[in-house]
Structure 1
Amino acid sequence: MSQLSLQEKQKDHALLQIGAGIKQFVRDNMGILIGFLVLCIIISIVNSSFLTANNLLNVLRQTSTNLYLALAMTMIIILGGIDLSVGSVMAVVGVVTSSLVALFGAPVLVAVAAGLAVGVLFGALNGYVVATTVIPPFIVTLATMNIARGAAYVLTDGKPIRVMSDSFNFIGSGYIGGVLPTPVLYLVILLIICYLIMNKTKLGRYMYAVGGNAEAAKFSGINIKRIKLFAYTFSGLMAGVAGIVLASRMFSGQPTAGNGAELDAIAAVVLGGTSMTGGYGRIGGTVIGALIIGVLSNGLNLMGVSSFWQYIVKGIVILVAVYADVIKRKRG
């Protein structure tokens, strides 16, 4: 009886912790949550097909690629850095993976591992240079952005590489149980990993400390170089995942893939309330920010709005959201 009572108390305690976490999440992101709900309501009124199960799954599938990048970008921006290379790394990883499968007949697992290794190498290069030199992260990642994009064009001679492997195409276009898109499954796993890193480990606390005050963190004994190296390497890994999933969805490795993806990732992070000056940000906010961008794009497509105008609308929404966040923080 006592053992059963103890188990019940532990269960109640766990439920209380989950409830407290949800309340804290809503409290921290109240403004952006309201904006997200209003956006969904407006789009659903204008076009009733928005709330269909197929369309919502499609939004999640499309948003997942941006969120892979945005999760790692959140860590980097919390550190006070930036990574402009992720879109180009997506392209070169997709090209390498597709080439190995389509042109060299490599097993899919081998090709995926090689592609992820390429992403990690680019991320580690960014992290090493940022951590060991005084070159600003903007310049470092701008350089690697051009290197990666150039490599993608060189490897393909500017032409897409078609992949006819069903097992490879399942990575980004398949369904689990006939219902859940595979990219969404990867996203759930990565969300859990990133949440645990940022909220339950010393590494996450060190990131906030370094972003808030690098000098104080250094005198506290935190290895700043190691923290930066991890964040940028992780960003390269996430770009690799996004590149492989995108190549699988398009059934080809394309040197133009991921064009502008870094801007969407940064926009999701900023919309989610992460400070561009470093030291503050939440994974949950980034998720909402990415969903806003995904829902906005989907809604504009359903309404038949030209893609040219979509760029303008997205820019205005991002500008207004960031300005509102700045005002809120000043008042706070």
Structure 2
Amino acid sequence: MSSLTENIPQSLQREKMSDEGFITSLVVIVAVALFLLASLLVPNFFQWQNVVNLVTNNWAVISLGIFVSFLLVSGNFDLSVGGIVALSGVLSVWFAQSPDGANALSSGLGMPYPLAILCALIGALAIGAMNALFVVRLGIPSIIVTLGTMMVARGIAQVITQGSQRNTNLPNEFGFLGNLTMFGTSVKLPVVLMLLLFLVAVFVERKMVFGRITYWIGANPEAATLSGINRSWHITKLYLFSAAVAGMVGILLASEFKSGFSNRGTLMEFDALVIALLGGIAITGGFGSVIGMFFGAIILAVVTSAATGMVLSPDWQFILKAIAVFLAIVTQTWAVARRNR
């Protein structure tokens, strides 16, 4: 596989990496500028704990954004992650609930908790495999496929919860993973796992052949295929990884709140896409970085947090998100075009 990357024109690699660095720097500057602006407009916003909260409170969306970003770089979408979050969380509760509950919503399959987690992850991977089947094998546009599988996953969750939630008759250890704090601090395990996943993703993106191939597939899929890259298998793995991460997020959220809720993860798929676009990842594929996505998440968190501090309604917050994405795409496109001239 390493020989495949040798066929990539070095000038193309240098230009892409150079532009990525430029856009990432631009995203970081915007994130810092927005934070300072929010500090002027919102009382008590300029605090270290608030900076920490911007990351810790958004661990789920950042985790989802990692492989949503990889897929976007490869030229594909994954809008199914929000539905997978709901499905995996509901499945983990249903599988772990004791079968002798007083009613249907308090009765489950009575699996040991580790087995319940494993089976819930298998359910998440099944949605990822479905995405790969329709996108890779049948050639259906990924935005259509993943929108459909998102609704399928959430629909199954709604059937299992009867449109409500399951939160009773659970084993004592069910809430352990989602509420475990690390290193004697208030930082929970899900946040640490998100940071580890982010660091691994950066390493894969920058140093491993897998990351380079992902960029090449997005930049020129035909050339990648002609060079001997198994594009179908690579995209399949990306969808499976994305589904696995979404499943993990759903299980941890279910553990944190000790409930399986069919509406959990609603709009998370769009937030994950938004932070990727805010971070400079090209919607057409072949360009962007996970680091940019991370700071895109910071931008979105600052906008949302500042809007909440200014007591703006959720409707206005949604409009601000839309404006932020539009300005980000226009600014990044203009900046790269001007720089290349």
Using the size of structure 1 for normalisation, the TM-score is 0.87
C-alpha distance in structure 2 between counterparts of 1:107 and 1:61, whole Å: 29
Q: Which residue of 1 aligns with 2:116?
A: 111
Aligned partners of 1:105, 1:44: CA distance in 2, in Å?
Answer: 50
TM-superposed CA distance for 1:49, in Å, is 3.0
Which consecutive unaligned segments of at least 5 residues does structure 2 have? Answer: 1-17, 98-107
Mapping of residues 130-149 of structure 1, within 5 Å? 130-149=135-154
Of 52, 57, 61, the residue aligned with 1:62 is: 57
Q: Secondary structure at the match of 1:106?
A: coil
Distance 2:51 2:179 in 1: 16
- Give the one of 105, 123, 126 matched to 2:131: 126
Deviation at 1:293?
Answer: 1.0
Residue of 78, 81, 89 corresponding to 1:83: 78
Which residue does 2:158 correspond to in 1? 153
Q: What is the CA distance between 1:264 and its match in structure 2?
A: 0.4
CA distance in structure 2 between the partners assigned to 1:307 and 1:126 by the alignment = 31
Q: CA deviation at 1:57?
A: 3.5
1:301 matched to 2:308? The reply is yes
What residue in structure 2 maps to residue 233 of structure 1? 240
Cα distance change on mapping 1:54 and 1:245 into 2, 3 Å: farther
8 Å CA contact 2:20–2:288 kept in 1: the answer is no
Structure-2 separation of matches of 1:224 and 1:142: 22
Q: Say if 1:90 and 1:242, in contact at 8 Å, map to a contact too.
A: yes
CA contact (8 A) 2:23 2:336 kept: no
The alpha-carbon deviation at position 54 of structure 1 amounts to 4.3
Aligned equivalents of 1:291, 1:186: Cα separation in 2: 18
Q: Which residue of 1 aligns with 2:174?
A: 168
* Cα RMSD, aligned residues only: 2.0
Q: Give the secondary structure class of the aligned counterpart of 1:158.
A: coil
Asked whether the 8 Å contact 1:74–1:269 carries over to 2, the reply is yes
Tell me the alpha carbon deviations over residues 144-185 of structure 1, each in whole angstroms, 9 at most, x when there is no partner. Answer: 112111111111111111156553323233321233222210
Aligned partners of 2:19, 2:145: CA distance in 1, in Å?
A: 36
Say whether the 8 Å CA contact 1:25–1:284 is kept in structure 2: no
Structure 2: distance between partners of 1:294 and 1:117: 31
The one of 96, 107, 112 equivalent to 1:101 is: 96
Letter in structure 2 aligned against 1:218: T
Name the structure 2 match of 1:262: 269
CA distance in 2 between partners of 1:306 and 1:189 (Å):
34
Label 1:114 to 1:292 Cα distance change in 2 as closer, same or farther (>3 A).
same
Question: d(CA) in 1 for partners of 2:71 and 2:215?
Answer: 10
Equivalent residue, structure 2, for 1:290: 297
Deviation of residue 44 (structure 1)? 2.1
**Which structure has greater helix proportion?**
1
Cα displacement (A) at 1:53:
4.7
Shift of 1:305: 1.6
Is residue 57–residue 181 contact of structure 1 (8 Å, CA) maintained in 2?
no
Q: Is the 8 A contact 1:78 1:280 kept in 2?
A: yes
Q: Matched residues in 1 for 2:48 and 2:120: separation?
A: 33
CA distance in 2, matches of 1:297, 1:245: 23
Tell me the residue number matched to 2:196.
189
Q: How many residues matched?
A: 310
The 8 Å contact of residues 76 and 82 in structure 1, kept in 2 or not, is answered as yes
Give me the TM-score of the superposition, normalised by structure 2: 0.85
Does the Cα contact within 8 Å between 1:272 and 1:289 map onto a contact in 2?
yes
| One-letter identity of the residue aligned with 2:122 | A
- Identify if the C-alpha distance between structure 1 residues 109 and 283 changes in structure 2 by more than 3 Å, giving closer, same or farther: same
Q: CA 1:129–1:221 in 2, change beyond 3 Å: closer, same or farther? A: same
- Helix, strand or coil at the partner of 1:50: coil
Q: Identity of counterpart residues, as a percentage?
A: 31
Larger deviation: 40-49 or 23-32?
23-32
Deviation (angstroms), 1:311: 0.5
Letter in 1 for 2:234: I
Pairwise CA distance, 1:143:
1.9
- What amino acid is aligned across from residue 315 of structure 2 in structure 1? F
The one-letter code sitting in structure 1 at the alignment partner of 2:29 is I
Q: 1:194 to 1:207 in 2, by over 3 A?
A: same
Cα separation, 1, equivalents of 2:302 and 2:248: 22
Residue in structure 2 matched with residue 30 of structure 1 by the alignment: 25
User: Residue 100 of structure 2 aligns with which residue?
Assistant: none
